[in-house]
Each structure stands twice: as structure tokens, then as C-alpha cells.
Amino acid sequence: MLIGIDASRAVAARPTGTEVYSQRLLSALLELGSSHRFRFYLREAPPTDAFPLAELRVIPLPRLWSHLRLSWELLRHRPDVLFVPAHVLPLAHPAPSVVTIHDLGYLHFPETHPWQQRLYLDASTRWSARHAHHLLADSQATKADLVSYYHVAADRVTVAYPGVDPALAPVRRPERIAEAKARYGITGDYLLYLGTLQPRKNLQRLIEAYAALLETQGEGAPNLVLAGRLGWLYDELFTRAARLGLAGRVHFCGYVAEEHKAALLSGARAFVFPSLYEGFGLPVLEAQACGCPVLTSDTSSLPEAAGEGALLVAPGDMAAIAAGLARLVADGDLGRSLAARGLENVRRFSWGACARTVLATLEHAAGLGGDLDGEPAAAVERYHKRRARR
């Protein structure tokens, strides 16, 4: 079987969410699917050592690449099945097609997205939900959203949990942590957020909660490090930190390269991720893989991903976030317990398992069978129990 894959996001120089998903999953698919042929479609030539087991089709076009250039390529040379790892199914595509929908946060919190992006996300997701043969979701929460908001039949959506980079592990050597901190200008103890700086991540409320922490903990409290690339509507974060007198305590250190991520996570007092909404929440698992205690939200997919290895708080309640920060700073036993449970939780997820579910879905879409009963029953049961409790 010839599997065509939109690999345009898999060669990003500075990968975040969907780019990391594409990179890791496509590598795992190549290792797993030796009985199939893979054709990767790209906007630009990748590094020479990228995806040596795939046939690469570089088809450049500066704008409307998916709907114009990729559509034309698919009309001329049709694969047996098409896989799109991130949202956008081309206008012209083979009937057997599978699309991953990562989240529907723009419907839950529309005010946290620029209006142009919100309209585009809604239109492209609606198109994929209507025309793809089958959909993949990163979590039971996202699957439930697709069923609820876009009226997709539940049997057309399969949950394939993302994995965690196996290279991420606790860093035990203090000199490596010190080198990473020095590279990003971090001093002293610190609480760490790592992700794109955008409104959906709830960082304004996190800054306010941190200010409340300082009022009770004083100068001995750790600093707050907000790491990650600039997304959109982020200017108010700098303004808010300055207005609260936190210029010396809140540190914005920019994008963190993959090779420094484990050291920074391992050195943090805690990882703080009170996002308003996530389709999965991969940063939570990355922190757990490095033995870092986690504070995250009790909404969307985050409890599903974090399992028993995180302190959960209501993301809309600043006082609850501040209280959670205070508990993590004051209670060393709690931090050690969360770190241990987080390391255990991460074992539930792997890119190999994700690739097996995705490959079975692609085989099923192409009419070659494929077992779509691979969703872990325990995970489904846990998700619905949590929803019932709320």
C-alpha cells in the first residue's frame, strides 16, 4: 500500500506542538510500516538525513499550499490512502483519507485566538470532519468535542495518544542543569512554564497567582520562568509583570532548544501549566518524563494525560492556582510524590503505540482491514468517570 503523508510540519526548525507530533509520529510509522510504501509531501527540502525510508516529494508554493499545490499533486499521482497529521485536508484528496484533529480550543475560548485564525480553524476542521474517511484525536476529550460540536459519528473517530520523546529523562548532573540555566539567563530556584506564549495558556492569571505567592512566601520563593516562542496577543504578559513589580522575578527566556529541555525541566522546582484548554497537553508528559513535579489544569484533556502524577487546579481561579503554587513550594514530600507518580504515568504513552493505532486506521481506511478497537478501555473509563464527577 502506498501511504501519502502531508509531512510539511515535520521539518520545522523550531518545532512546537503539532510539529513535534508530526516529527515523532512519522519516524515511528516508518519504523513500523515496513510492508508499506510511504510518500512524504513537503513544502521545502528537508535535511539530508531526514526520513531516509520515505519517498520525498518536495512541492513548493508560498501560499495555499495544502489546497492548491498538494491537491494538484494528489490529483496527478494518487496514493492509496492520505494521512494529514494536523487539521487541514486538501480540497482535492483521495477518498480514503485520515486526518488528526488536535484540539477545538478555538470553540471553547474564542477570545484567546485572533479572529482570522479562529475562522480558519473552524472552517478547516469542519471540512476535515465532514470529508475525511476517518479522524484521529489526541484524547478522549477531543473526540468528545468532535462528536458534540461537529456531530461526527463516534465510530469515525479513533483516539491515538501521542508519545513522549524517549530521550527525555531526569538529568542528574548538576553541571548540565547549571549550563542550561546559564544559557537562558536563569538564576536561583525557579518554577517553569514551557510552551508558546499565547492567551489560551492562561499566563496572565499565572503571573497574578505568582504575585500572590510572593506576598505570602516572600523573597525566598522561587522565580517564575516563562519559556517558549512568542505566539500572539502576548504583549500584555510583559506589561502585566511590570505593573505587578515582578521585573526581577518573572523571566521570559524565549524558545528552548530540544537539547536543553530535559536539563531545564529537571532543574525546576515544579512545572506549571494552568492552560485553559488542551487537546492533549504534551508538555505535561515531557515534564513528568524528567522527574519534575507538575501543576496543571483540571479541565479538557489535561487530567486524562497527567493521570495521577499532577496537582490539578481550576484554571479560571487565580486563588486556586496561587494555592497550588504555595503547596508545591512548601511541601517537599508532595513534590517528590508527584515526581514519582509522573514518571510512572509517562510509561502509558509511546510513539510506537501511537503509530500502531494510526497505521491500523490507515489500513482500515484503505480497505485492508485494520483493528480500530485499540483505544485502551481503562483510559476511556477514566475519562468518562472524571466528566461525571465534574
Domain count, the chain: 2
Residue 231 maps to a domain: yes
- Tell me: do 237 and 361 sit in the same domain: no
Lowest pLDDT segment from 319-323, 346-350, 385-389: 385-389
38 and 146 both lie in a single domain: yes
In a domain, 169, yes or no: no
The fraction of the chain above a pLDDT of 70, given in percent, is 95
Do the domain assignments include residue 168?
A: no
Residue 126 domain flag: yes
Average of per-residue pLDDT across 293-305: 97
Residue 100 is assigned to a structural domain of this protein: yes
- Residue 268, pLDDT score: 98
Closest CA to 309 of 331, 290, 288, 330: 288
Range from 40-49, 68-77, 224-233, 363-372 carrying the lowest mean pLDDT: 363-372
Residue 316: CATH number of its domain: 3.40.50.2000
Residue 1 near residue 363, CB atoms below 8 Å: yes
For residues 147 and 220, membership in a common domain is answered with no
Q: Where are the beta strands (DSSP E) in 140-249?
A: 157-159, 190-194, 223-227
58 domain-assigned: yes
The one-letter amino acid code at 288 reads Q
Q: Which of residues 173 and 378 earns the better pLDDT score? A: 173
Asked if residue 361 and residue 282 are part of one domain, the reply reads no
Q: How far is Cα 188 from Cα 68, in angstroms, rounded to an integer? A: 51
In tens, the pLDDT along 4-62 reads 999 998 887 777 788 889 999 999 999 997 889 999 999 988 877 778 889 999 999 98
Q: Is 188 in the same domain as 270?
A: yes
Q: 339 with 355, same domain?
A: no
Look at residue 132 and tell me if it is in a domain: yes
Looking at per-residue pLDDT, the higher value among 307 and 231 belongs to 307
Q: What is the mean pLDDT of the chain?
A: 91
Assess whether 107 and 207 both reside in one domain.
no
Dihedral of alpha carbons 291, 385, 199, 21, sign:
positive
- Give dist(CA 148, CA 144) in Å, integer: 6
**Same domain as 179, residue 327:** yes
For residues 240 and 336, membership in a common domain is answered with yes
Residues 236 and 374 in one domain: no
Question: 98 with 126, same domain?
Answer: yes
At 185-216, the pLDDT tens digits run: 999 999 999 999 999 999 999 999 999 999 99
Judge if 320 and 355 occupy the same domain: no
Query: What is the residue range of 276's domain?
Result: 174-346
Within-domain flag for 89: yes
Measure the CA–CA gap between 157 and 135, rounded to whole angstroms: 5
